Amino acid sequence: MREIVLDTETTGFEPSEGHRIVEIGAVELFNHLPTGRTYHQYINPERAMPKDAFDVHGLGDDFLRDKPVFSTIGTAFLQFIGEAQLVIHNAAFDMKFLNHELQRAGLPVLPLHRATDTLLIARQKYPGSPASLDALCRRFGVDNSAREKHGALLDSEILAEVYLELVGGRQPDFALSAASTNPRQDGASGLSQDWRPRPRPVPLSPRMTEDETAAHAAFVAKLGEAAIWKKRL
């Protein structure tokens, strides 16, 4: 299962008021394990940066002036995420901005069901407790000491760790679904999409003794010819 943990930085709170995305960061997971592939892009918002937003992420007009506009990077962004499920903290916020930008660029928008919201997961799992990303880092012991200001790639890397804790630990499936030693490689993630466990080279020996087998057969015989166990012997 391929997932993309994603975060954005913006000029404000509402795209309907003219606010734009200025940064996208994303981390790829495969079967709940980081693959090492990331996506990171600064974006020229084609407008001035409000002071309140600058104080949050530190991305100013001078820095963003020579960065590409969204319409020139939108296709590459969609290619990176592919058909993967998106993992976002407060997904409604990021999705409305992403879809606003995609629509402006004449590109396909993302259906809301593509997003798994870690904020909602945290609120359901720990009702009444703080559910901000910083609060969840404290709860799970995730190091966020480098997070002096908001940054999309750093935040997505931190969120990936938090997400794996929310769904049962950093390695919830104990890597049982990792790629085999000779997988069919997937071009997007470099991992196998159709891995299946191999048959045991030597079958396990029966665990029932001869006496237990005989006793079971005698018991089934008493159930009559219509007993389902007759079909198992």
Give the domain CATH number at 115: 3.30.420.10
Res 29 pLDDT > 70: yes
- Does pTM surpass 0.75? no
Longest dimension (CA), the chain: 86
- The pLDDT of 5-15, averaged and rounded, is 97
Backbone angles phi, psi at 8, to 5 degrees: -130, 155
- What is the edge-to-edge ordering of all strands in the sheet holding 2-10? 33-42, 21-30, 2-10, 85-88, 115-117
Helix (H) / strand (E) element for 73: namely helix 70-81
Q: Is residue 20 part of a domain?
A: yes
Q: What is the mean pLDDT of residues 199-221?
A: 72
Residue 178 lies in a domain: no
Same domain, 120 and 219: no
Same domain, 39 and 92: yes
Q: Report how many domains make up the chain.
A: 2
Same domain, 104 and 212: no
pLDDT of residue 4: 98
Domain check: are 161 and 213 in the same one?
no
Contact 74, 102 (CB under 8 A): yes
Domain limit, last residue, from 112, 134, 166? 166
Q: Is 197 part of any domain?
A: no
Among the candidates 139, 166, 193, a domain finishes at: 166
Q: What is the mean pLDDT of residues 116-131?
A: 97
26-40, 63-77, 142-156, 184-198, range with the lowest pLDDT:
184-198
- Please report whether residue 180 resides in a domain: no
On whether residue 202 sits in a domain, the answer given is no
Q: 16 and 99 share a domain?
A: yes
Whether 201 maps to a domain, the answer reads: no
**For 144-163, what is each residue's pLDDT tens digit?**
887 767 899 999 999 999 99
Residue range 185-202: mean pLDDT, rounded:
53
What is the predicted pLDDT for the residue at 33? Answer: 93
pLDDT band at 197 (very low <50, low <70, confident <90, very high): low
Question: Do residues 162 and 220 share a domain?
Answer: no
Are residue 151 and residue 230 in the same domain, yes or no?
A: no
Catalytic: 89?
A: no
Distance CA 84, CA 188 (A): 10
Q: Are residues 223 and 152 in the same domain?
A: no
Per-residue pLDDT at 184:
41
Q: Give the model's pLDDT for residue 145.
A: 85
Q: Give the active site residue among 19, 32, 100, 150.
A: 150
110 vs 78, 116, 127, 230, CA distance in Å? 9, 13, 29, 53
pLDDT computed for residue 65 by the predictor: 97
Average pLDDT over residues 89-99: 98
**Which residue range(s) make up the domain with 212?**
208-233
132 & 216 share domain: no
Whether 176 maps to a domain, the answer reads no
192 in a structural domain: no
Last residue of a domain, one of 166, 194, 225: 166
Residues 38 and 95 in one domain: yes
**Same domain, residue pair 153 and 216:** no
Q: Is residue 78 located within the same domain as residue 157?
A: yes
- pLDDT, residue 188, reads 47
Is residue 157 classed exposed, middle or buried when 0-12, 13-18 and 19+ CB atoms within 10 A define those classes? buried
